[in-house]
């Protein structure tokens, strides 16, 4: 290198030479550049003791190695130390000096090796980079102890660089984490304007932004900057709003910044420093304490180097007198000079002691960077040791001697990369691939110790080798903050947003400056200052304050919510109503209405409607895979079945009424065809549903799209095509049914079911057409609710429209439930509805409550018997058996029925039979000798003359039954007798009638039969044809003909005018059947016999019957005798009338037969139904207490009215005994006696006290209070008498108030006496006289205590006074006449006040227990109050639990017991002394003194 060569400041020769570059001086003078003369050499000044210690540490380590026998044995290490002055230009000169040595080289190439084998240094990153740019060419290893720039880890640019201090990459990140940890997100930054500061700050800003920390400003300074530039930076820091300052400064820049900060009074900032100055001891002075105390920063761990301090203290200029550096160090340390008389400065002698100096050179308490120098030297030594294979074998040792010629720098670098050893301190030393050590830091805090000095306290650590999140650890140590504040400073641009708010960046400002905006719905923020609100995960939603995500409410139509409950209720109600309708239809299934309604299809439709109602329940509840598949398919199939039934019924109606005339017969529509149509229509829907479930079944899914704060748990239909196909098919069936029903609208009104089907389909279609838009637009569970509503609405529509009219007729208008009404006919015979009810009343009238029944197995018999059984149950009549027969039944079936009748216990048989069935039943009865029964018949056979023969008389004589009134038709007999085949010879019916009547034949020689001549006389024949004595049914025929004639007459307006007469001639073409029906309904005329003919709205005549009895006349023939009548038009109770005519009973008995299952119960007993038997079969159970029965056979016993009770045999109610505590009963007498005895005894004691009132004992007992107490005790005894006797209004008010006031007076007297005793003996000596307790004061205390009770009693009597009342609740057979206290509050207030006085008296008496024995009245008061309290505490539960008069007795007992207790405890001892021990009745004895 041209120019003057550089000489080392410290050097020593050795086999291996290690170079060192340290900033021994911290200030450099810049030479003037004239460009005409050679520039002056650089001058460094202001010794840096810390850096000089680093240099001496290097020498110490080399000396230690040279003295070691295990490391580099027989190899010596030399050194060359140069001054880099903390600047790049001196550093360049230093590295050139280290490489070249002291000789000038003028050749073009350098053939010699470097004068050093490794370089330790420099202390600054910029200086190190400059050195590497030159040394790197020669691959000379450089090991820095203090260069932390992250840029130096670039192995491509610096392949021979190593360091023993971690890279700033880790420190910068650690600083960012530190700021984040303390919540300092708004900081200022200042850095050295060199590689160290710039690179470190760049890495820090990047890491800080990742941690959410913003830098308000970032300023750069250099030690060479002019003062105004430094002042400007300090002003920027001063004016900033950040309260935390990150100083990434080298020591030189830190010094000049602090000086300017002092000048501008820059205080109150929290300093966060880099490792270059954070443990610089020269800054820990009082001068900078106001600024830097509380600073935080990362530094490398400190350690202890054994022997270093002793080595440093041995440094002396005498070691090398010609070494200018040592002399300069000595002069700077001791402030002296080796030159004499230099500005009055002390001359250095060289004998000064470094032990007496405390400066950065001698301070080894914080060995951090010095340790790095120590480790660097040892790293070089270990690398050389490994490279020379020292100590491994002899050859290696011999080879080491020849190392000068063979040593290669590459090998040194290679072995340095591989070093891995442990120092004596236990610290491990190695390098990673970039030549960096492991990055571990201590977090130090500048604190004051007890002496007031600033010390570095480790408050945390950072280890970059640990996983993220575990690298930064804080110790539980108190920290000192800026300005020595105990509270951590805040440094934020904007305060942290509360949970539930997010940060919104303010335009033009860093991200740390923000406004807080509430999180949107479904978003949360729960960290201290989030940048954005985080969206809640799927199936979660934000809570009210948006601080946390809570599970979204899963919404579905549940059974628990109101809407679910209502829909479930309507569904179950609909199903139940349908079942009720089914039961009604089943109950009346034999009636014409049910049969005309196509009972099989009706029951199937009711079954499907029940399923329709119930299928809506599958839509409610949490959707599952099965419920989703079930709900829509069940709905589709059940509705398809329902509409299919209606379609089949409509087809039946249309086909049935398709006929328009005799030439157009009714097409066949059989039951199998109806079943096939229903099955086929339903199976088609089933097929669609099966395909749906197979190809794309519905499934549950969570819908989060249509709602935000909740999850809609729905059933996805899988395939909308199949869903609408199911609905569409139901709609197709409904429309088809509606069209067919509409076409059948002209069916006659009496049987126009098509009209109701039309309305039901109209409602059905309207509901489901409305359903579609509502279903599509409804959200969430309301979609399901709409579908359920449509199901229920359409189901109710179908149920009410189809079945409500029928149920109305079946239940409320049974008279219209007839075949005649169904087919629109009028009749002149009353409906069996009335006959059946009349028969039930007949049985009830005669007391026949247990009957058998037999009927024709046809509409007549089945409907009539059904009505009869219903009416009979209403009348209390039970049917033992009900058998049906038909004339077509086999004989064994008829025989079976007769055996049932024969074996039954009922003696009355109701026979609702037609002629044919009656005849075959009677024949079988003759064979089985069925006699002794009372027959009750229907009108069809009860007046049949062909049964009133001698053959059947043994069975039927005595029969009863209702029939129509008989009448006489003038001319009918003559007309009948004129009937002859000659009237119409070709009429086969007339010929057959003639042959049957006369037993002849118009055909000759037919089996020997007589030939009819036609001249036979009907007058000679007596048969039902010629018998007009019982014209009943014939009269109905007569009336029917006349009804038609009158209807036609009225319709054709015959006889009103000529036009009407002329118009009647054209009737054949214009006659309308509806008009005939209309006019028939209106007919109202009178026959010649005087009988009125008309029809009600059901086409029935008025229901009037005669009750006939089969009796024998004198000739022995059976005749029908009218014994009563029934007129349904009369009010209930007057309809059935019996004539006063003797009746014939079964088997011609004169005595009415009995037919009951159980005999009537006697009075005092009730009927109890026997399980499994009808209500007419019962056992008799005695009535309960308080109940009676006096009717002949009551169902239940009746309860006696209030204040009445049942007698012994429970046949009648008698007045209850009124119970109260009277003077006449034993308990009343005893209590009265004790009361009077107590009062008398008290009067005796009063007399004794009055007799001895002058004696000391009576006087000492406070005679006035004693007499008042005895008076009150007398009243207490006497007040108990008010509780005995019949309670009246005055006695009820008197008893409790008298008791309360007298006892209050009594206890008040005792309280006053106790107070007197306590006060009298309060004096403890002559100096403490007893307080005054005069007689007036005693009277006032007694009076006030008593008056307070009087006031309570007056208020009680005014507001809610006691009153007598009859207690019937606590006793059954008697009335407890008691006094009601009116208000329990006032009652217990009176008792409570007495108790309060007693307790107070007891406490005072107990406190006075130490009064001298001779006069210890307090002791007796204590005992008396103890007894009093015990009595009344025991009284309360006894009073509450005692019934009736015992309640009063308990209260009297408590009064007497407490009164006797007071009397005996207080006065018995005194009377004992007065009467039996008069010698103790002296003042001396009272005072208890001896004299």
**DSSP one-letter code for 1139:** -
Sign of CA dihedral 979, 981, 985, 987: positive
The DSSP call for residue 152 is: G
In a 3-state reduction of DSSP, which class is residue 245? strand
pLDDT in tens, 247-280: 999 888 899 999 999 999 999 899 999 988 998 8
- The burial of 1476, by beta-carbon neighbours within 10 Å (0-12 exposed, 13-18 middle, 19 or more buried), is given as exposed
CB 691 within 8 A of CB 722: yes
Burial (Cβ within 10 Å: 0-12, 13-18, ≥19) of residue 400? buried
**Cα–Cα distance for residue pair 109/853, rounded to 1 Å:** 147
d(CA 445, CA 278): 9
Give the separation between CA 46 and CA 26, rounded to whole angstroms. Answer: 6
Angle (CA) 771-777-778 rounded to 5° is 80
Contact between 23 and 86 (Cβ < 8 Å): yes
Residue 896 token pair: 């079976």
CA distance 806 to 594: 8
pLDDT for the residue 786:
83
Minimal CA–CA distance to 183: which of 427, 588, 449, 512? 512
User: How high is the pLDDT of residue 1063?
Assistant: 46
995-1004: long-range contacts (C-beta < 8 A, 24 or more apart)? 997/1021, 997/1023, 997/1025
Q: Residues 14-58: pLDDT tens digits?
A: 888 999 999 999 888 776 666 777 777 778 888 888 899 999 999
Exposure b/e, 1170-1195, CB count within 10 A at least 16 = b: eeeebbbbbebeebeebbbbeeebbe
Point out the residues of the chain with pLDDT beneath 50.
1-2, 106, 394-402, 659-668, 749, 1058-1066, 1192-1193, 1323-1330, 1489-1491
Angstrom distance (rounded) from CA 1223 to CA 1235: 12
16-22 and 118-121 beta bridge pairing: parallel
- What CA–CA distances, in Å, run from 859 to 592, 593, 595, 1325, 1392? 7, 11, 10, 122, 84
Q: Residue 189 is encoded by which pair of tokens?
A: 């930054």
Strand order in the sheet with 10-12: 10-12, 77-83, 16-22, 118-121, 142-144, 161-163
pLDDT at position 1065, please?
38
The number of C-alpha atoms within 13 Å of 1170 and in the hemisphere containing its C-beta is 9
Q: What's the confidence (pLDDT) of residue 649?
A: 80
Taking the CB of residue 377, how many other CB atoms lie within 10 A of it?
A: 27
Cβ–Cβ under 8 Å, residues 1295 and 1388 = no
CB 512 within 8 A of CB 537: no
Give me the torsion for CA of 150, 156, 159, 162, rounded to 10°.
10
Find the angle CA(243)-CA(245)-CA(247) to the nearest 5 degrees. Answer: 170
The two structure tokens encoding residue 71: 């490391």
Q: Determine whether 1374 is exposed, middle or buried from the number of CB atoms within 10 Å of its CB (0-12, 13-18, 19+).
A: middle
Signed CA dihedral, 470, 475, 478, 482: sign only: negative
pLDDT of residue 401: 37
- Helix (H) / strand (E) element for 428: namely strand 428-430
The DSSP line for 1028-1069 is -TTBSHHHHHHHHHHHHHHHHHHHTTTTT-HHHHHHHTTHHH
Going by C-beta distance under 8 Å and a sequence separation of 6 or more, which residues neighbour residue 103?
A: 5
Please give the pLDDT value at position 236. Answer: 95
- Tokens 């001791």 correspond to 334
Q: For the packed helices 562-587 and 781-807, what is the interaxial angle rounded to 10 degrees? A: 20
Specify the residue for token string 């400056």.
513
Rounded CA-CA distance 1296/1299 in Å is 5
pLDDT, residue 1325, reads: 41
Q: What is the pLDDT of residue 1414?
A: 53
In terms of DSSP bridges, do strands 1213-1215 and 420-422 run parallel, antiparallel, or are they unpaired? unpaired
Supply the pLDDT for residue 1126: 86
* DSSP tag of 1006: S
pLDDT value, residue 896:
93
CA dihedral 9, 10, 13, 18 (to 10 degrees): -90
| Confidence at residue 422, expressed as pLDDT on a 0 to 100 scale | 92
- Residue 131's Cα: distance from chain center in Å? 78
| Contact in structure between 535 and 523 (CB atoms under 8 Å) | yes
C-alpha torsion angle, residues 1279, 1280, 1286, 1290 (rounded to 10): 20
| Residue 1362 neighbours by CB distance under 10 Å | 24
Q: Residue 1242 has which token pair?
A: 């008290």
Task: Tell me how far the alpha carbon of residue 702 is from its chain's centroid.
Answer: 21
3-state secondary structure of 686: helix
Task: Report pTM.
Answer: 0.43
C-alpha 268/C-alpha 494 separation (Å) is 19
């Amino acid at each position: 290198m041209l120019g003057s060569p550089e000489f080392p400041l410290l050097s020593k020769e050795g086999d291996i030479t290690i170079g060192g570059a340290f900033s021994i001086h911290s200030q450099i003078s810049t030479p003037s550049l004239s460009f005409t003369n050679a520039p002056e050499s650089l001058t460094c000044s202001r010794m840096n003791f810390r850096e000089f210690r680093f240099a001496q540490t290097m020498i110490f380590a080399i000396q230690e190695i040279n003295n070691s026998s295990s490391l580099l044995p027989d190899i010596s290490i030399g050194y060359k130390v140069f001054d880099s002055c903390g600047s790049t230009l001196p550093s360049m000169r230093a590295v050139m000096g280290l490489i070249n040595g002291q000789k000038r080289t003028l050749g073009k190439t350098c053939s010699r090796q470097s004068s050093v084998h490794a370089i330790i240094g420099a202390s600054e990153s910029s200086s190190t980079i400059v050195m590497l740019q030159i040394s790197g060419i020669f691959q000379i290893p450089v090991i820095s102890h203090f260069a932390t720039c992250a840029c130096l880890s670039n192995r491509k640019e610096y392949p021979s660089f190593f360091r023993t201090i971690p890279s700033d990459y880790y420190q910068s990140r650690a600083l960012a984490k530190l700021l984040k940890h303390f919540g300092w997100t708004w900081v200022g930054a200042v850095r050295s304007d060199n590689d160290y500061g710039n690179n470190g700050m760049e890495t820090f800003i990047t890491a800080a932004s990742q941690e959410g920390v913003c830098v308000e400003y970032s300023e750069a300074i250099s030690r060479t900057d002019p003062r105004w530039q430094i002042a400007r930076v300090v002003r920027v820091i001063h004016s900033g709003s950040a309260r935390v300052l990150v100083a990434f400064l080298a020591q030189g820049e830190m010094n000049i910044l602090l000086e300017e900060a002092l000048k501008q009074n820059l205080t109150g900032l929290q300093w966060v420093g880099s490792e270059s100055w954070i443990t610089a001891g020269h800054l820990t002075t009082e001068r900078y304490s106001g600024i830097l105390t509380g600073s935080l920063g990362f530094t490398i761990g400190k350690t202890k180097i054994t022997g270093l301090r002793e080595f440093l203290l041995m440094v002396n200029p005498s070691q090398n007198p010609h070494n200018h550096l040592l002399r300069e160090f000595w002069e700077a340390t001791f402030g002296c000079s080796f030159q004499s008389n230099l500005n009055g400065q002390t001359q250095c002698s060289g004998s000064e002691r470094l032990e007496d100096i405390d400066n950065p050179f001698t301070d080894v308490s914080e060995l951090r960077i010095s340790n790095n120098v120590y480790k660097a030297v040892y790293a070089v030594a270990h690398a050389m040791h490994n490279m020379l294979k020292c100590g491994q074998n002899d050859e290696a040792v011999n080879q080491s001697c020849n190392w000068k010629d063979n040593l290669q720098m590459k090998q040194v670098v290679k072995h340095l990369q591989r070093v891995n050893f442990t120092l004596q301190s236990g610290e491990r030393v190695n390098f990673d691939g970039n030549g960096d050590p492991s990055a571990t830091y201590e977090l130090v805090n500048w604190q004051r110790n007890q002496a007031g000095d600033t010390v570095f306290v480790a408050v945390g650590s950072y280890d970059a080798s640990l996983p993220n999140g575990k690298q930064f650890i804080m110790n539980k140590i108190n920290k000192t903050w800026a300005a020595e504040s105990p509270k951590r400073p805040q440094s934020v641009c904007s305060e942290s947003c509360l949970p539930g708010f997010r940060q919104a960046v303010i335009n033009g400002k860093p991200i740390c400056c923000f406004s807080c905006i509430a999180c949107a719905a479904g978003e949360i923020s729960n960290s201290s200052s989030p940048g954005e609100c985080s969206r809640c995960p799927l199936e979660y939603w934000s809570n009210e304050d948006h601080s946390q995500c809570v599970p979204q409410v899963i919404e579905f139509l549940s059974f628990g919510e109101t809407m679910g409950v209502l829909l479930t209720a309507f569904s179950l109600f609909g199903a139940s109503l349908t079942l009720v309708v089914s039961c009604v239809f089943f109950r009346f299934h034999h009636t014409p209405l049910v049969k005309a309604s196509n009972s099989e299809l009706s029951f199937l439709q009711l079954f499907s409607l029940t399923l329709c109602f119930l299928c809506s329940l599958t839509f409610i509840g949490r959707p599952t895979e099965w419920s989703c598949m079930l709900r829509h398919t069940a709905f589709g199939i059940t509705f398809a079945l329902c509409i299919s039934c209606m379609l089949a019924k409509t087809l039946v109606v249309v086909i049935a009424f398709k006929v328009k005339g005799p030439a157009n017969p009714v097409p066949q529509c059989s039951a199998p065809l109806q079943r096939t149509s229903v099955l086929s229509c339903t199976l088609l829907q089933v097929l669609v549903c099966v395909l749906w479930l197979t190809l794309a079944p519905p499934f549950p899914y969570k819908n989060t799209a249509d709602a935000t704060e909740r999850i809609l748990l729905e059933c996805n239909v899988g395939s909308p095509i199949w869903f609408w196909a199911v609905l569409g098919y139901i709609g197709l069936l409904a429309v088809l049914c509606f069209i067919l029903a509409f076409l059948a609208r002209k069916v006659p009104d009496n049987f126009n079911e098509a009209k109701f089907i039309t309305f039901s389909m109209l409602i059905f279609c309207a509901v489901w057409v409305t359903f579609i838009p509502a279903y599509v637009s409804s959200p969430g569970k309301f979609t399901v609710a709409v579908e359920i509503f449509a199901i229920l609405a359409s189901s109710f529509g179908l149920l009410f429209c189809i079945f409500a009219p029928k149920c109305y007729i079946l239940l409320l208008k049974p008279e219209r439930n007839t075949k005649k009404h169904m087919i629109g006919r009028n009749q002149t015979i009353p409906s069996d509805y009335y006959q059946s009810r009349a028969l039930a009343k007949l049985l009830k009238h005669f007391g026949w409550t247990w009957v058998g029944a037999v009927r024709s197995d046809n509409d007549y018999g089945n409907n009539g018997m059904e009505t009869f059984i219903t009416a009979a149950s209403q009348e209390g009549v039970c049917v033992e058996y009900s058998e049906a027969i038909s004339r077509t039944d086999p004989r064994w079936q008829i025989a079976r029925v007769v055996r049932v009748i024969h074996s039954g216990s009922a003696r009355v048989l109701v026979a609702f039979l037609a002629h044919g069935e009656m005849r075959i039943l009677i024949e079988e009865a003759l064979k089985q000798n069925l006699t002794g029964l009372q027959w009750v018949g229907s009108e069809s056979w009860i007046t049949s003359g062909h049964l009133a023969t001698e053959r059947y008389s043994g069975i039927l004589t005595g029969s009863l039954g209702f029939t129509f009134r008989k009448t006489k038709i003038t001319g009918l007999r003559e007309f009948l007798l004129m009937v002859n085949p000659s009237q119409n010879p070709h009429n086969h019916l007339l010929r057959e009638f003639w042959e049957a009547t006369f037993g002849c034949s118009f055909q000759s020689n037919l089996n020997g039969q007589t030939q009819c001549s036609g001249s036979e006389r009907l007058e000679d024949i007596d048969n039902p044809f010629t018998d007009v004595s019982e014209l009943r049914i014939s009269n109905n025929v007569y009336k029917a003909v006349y009804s038609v004639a009158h209807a036609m007459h009225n319709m054709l307006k015959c006889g009103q005018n000529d036009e009407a007469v002329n118009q009647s001639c054209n009737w054949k073409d214009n006659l309308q059947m509806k008009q005939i029906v209309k006019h028939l309904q209106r007919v109202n005329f009178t026959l010649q016999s005087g009988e009125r003919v008309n029809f009600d709205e059901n086409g029935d005549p008025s229901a009037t019957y005669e009750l006939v009895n089969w009796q024998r006349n004198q000739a022995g023939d059976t005749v029908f005798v009218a014994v009563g009548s029934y007129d349904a038009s009369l009010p209930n109770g007057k309809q059935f009338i019996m004539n006063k005519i003797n009746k014939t009973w079964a088997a011609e008995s004169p005595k009415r037969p009995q037919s009951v299952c159980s005999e009537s119960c006697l009075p005092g007993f009730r009927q109890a139904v026997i399980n499994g038997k009808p209500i007419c079969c019962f056992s008799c159970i005695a009535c309960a207490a308080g109940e009676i029965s006096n009717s002949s056979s009551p169902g239940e016993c009746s309860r006696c009215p209030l204040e009445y009770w049942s007698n012994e045999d429970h046949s009648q109610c008698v007045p209850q005994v009124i119970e109260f505590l009277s003077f006449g009963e034993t308990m009343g007498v005893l209590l009265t006696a004790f009361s009077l005895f107590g009062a008398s005894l008290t009067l005796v004691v009063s007399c004794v006290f009055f007799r001895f009132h002058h004696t000391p004992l009576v006087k000492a007992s406070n005679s006035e209070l004693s007499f008042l107490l005895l008076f009150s005790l007398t009243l207490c005894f006497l007040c108990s008498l008010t509780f005995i006797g019949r309670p009246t209004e005055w006695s009820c008010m008197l008893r409790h108030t008298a008791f309360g006031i007298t006892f209050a007076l009594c206890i008040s007297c005792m309280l006053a006496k106790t107070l007197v005793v306590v006060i009298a003996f309060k004096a403890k000596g002559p100096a403490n006289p007893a307080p005054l307790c005069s007689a007036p004061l005693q009277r006032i205390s007694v009076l006030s205590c008593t008056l307070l009770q009087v006031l309570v009693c007056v208020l009680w009597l005014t507001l809610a006074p006691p009153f007598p009342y009859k207690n019937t609740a606590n006793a059954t057979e008697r009335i407890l006449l008691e006094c009601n206290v009116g208000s329990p509050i006032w009652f217990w207030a009176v008792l409570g006040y007495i108790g309060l006085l007693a307790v107070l008296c007891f406490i005072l008496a107990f406190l006075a227990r130490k009064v001298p024995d001779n006069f210890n009245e307090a002791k007796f008061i204590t005992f008396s109050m103890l007894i009093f309290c015990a009595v009344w505490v025991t009284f309360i539960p006894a009073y509450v639990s005692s019934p009736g008069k015992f309640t009063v007795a308990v209260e009297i007992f408590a009064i007497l017991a407490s009164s006797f207790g007071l009397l005996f405890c207080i006065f018995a001892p005194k009377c004992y002394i007065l009467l039996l021990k008069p010698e103790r009745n002296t003042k001396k004895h009272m005072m208890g003194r001896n004299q």
